[in-house]
């Protein structure tokens, strides 16, 4: 086994004494830092490399802390005014997307010149979850000349995280193969609904 395999095996036993101690110390350190900050190197090099990171110019790691918990409904004075149809619960609501996807979005809005490749979990405590986001500087020559990563330079890859194209963003879109994913046949939920709800009168021409 290579060195990275040993590191990844460590992370599979998060409740071992070593990992519990390490994660607790790291969370304490992250709490002292700002919400979004640049990390000098990936905390989990094995995970970062599996997600596409390379220790070369043009790749940047940013760490973000996300407040844990559900999403309270944003209504004035905690009362949903209006029709009875809209008067549902205010608390006990959950966001559509997971915290990791929202974390990518926040980093992407903060650093508009960089593009998001992927992200991964690095720790959590009672209040926050911490993620590290792999970002790519698409204007750097080391990126534009590398055939393995220069697909990120295409204009269509701008703000992938805002359109649910990263791995964390895709998880809430219901994409996949097989009978469990019938609701997104044809590309997306909306495309599937539109195809089934539009009248097509094909005639011979």
In this predicted model, what pLDDT tens digit does every residue of 57-107 receive, in sequence order?
Answer: 999 999 999 999 999 999 999 999 999 999 999 999 999 999 999 999 999
| Cα dist from 204 to 186, 198, 201, whole Å | 25, 19, 10
DSSP string across 183-198? GGTTSSHHHHHHHHHS
Whole-angstrom Cα distance, residue 77 to residue 100? 29
SS3 content of the chain, % helix, strand, coil (to 5): 40, 15, 45
| pLDDT at position 202 | 87
Looking at residue 149, its pLDDT comes to: 96
Nearest 5°: the CA angle 108, 156, 183 is: 85
Residue pair 64/134 in contact (Cβ under 8 Å)? The answer is no
- According to the model, what pLDDT value does residue 203 have? 84
Query: How far apart (Å, rounded) are the C-alpha atoms in residues 201 and 204?
Result: 10
DSSP secondary structure string for all residues of 88-127? --SSS---SS-HHHHHHHHHHHH-TTSEEEEEEEEEE-SS
pLDDT for 204 equals 79
The pair of structure tokens assigned to 66 is: 């996300």
Work out the number of other CB atoms within 10 angstroms of the CB of residue 123: 23
pTM of full prediction above 0.95 = no
Confidence at residue 1, expressed as pLDDT on a 0 to 100 scale:
73
> Within the chain, which residues score under 50 in pLDDT?
none
């Amino acid at each position: 086994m290579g060195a990275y395999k040993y590191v990844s095996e460590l992370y599979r036993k998060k409740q071992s004494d070593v990992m519990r101690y390490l994660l607790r110390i790291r969370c304490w350190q992250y709490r002292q830092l700002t919400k979004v900050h640049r990390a000098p190197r990936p905390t989990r090099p094995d995970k970062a490399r599996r997600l596409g990171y390379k220790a070369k110019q043009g790749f940047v790691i940013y760490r973000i802390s996300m407040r844990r918990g559900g999403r309270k409904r944003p209504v004035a004075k905690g009362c949903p005014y209006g029709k009875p149809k809209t008067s549902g619960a205010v608390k006990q609501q959950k966001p559509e997307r997971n915290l990791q996807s929202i974390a990518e979005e926040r980093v992407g809005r903060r650093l508009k010149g960089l593009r998001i490749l992927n992200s991964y979990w690095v720790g959590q405590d009672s209040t926050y979850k911490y993620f590290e986001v792999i970002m790519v500087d698409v204007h750097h020559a080391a990126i534009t000349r590398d055939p393995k990563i220069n697909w990120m330079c295409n204009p269509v890859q701008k703000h992938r995280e805002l359109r649910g194209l990263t791995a964390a963003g895709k998880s809430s879109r219901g994409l996949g193969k097989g009978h469990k994913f019938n609701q997104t046949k044809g590309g997306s939920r909306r495309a599937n609904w539109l195809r089934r709800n539009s009248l097509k009168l094909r005639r011979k021409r």
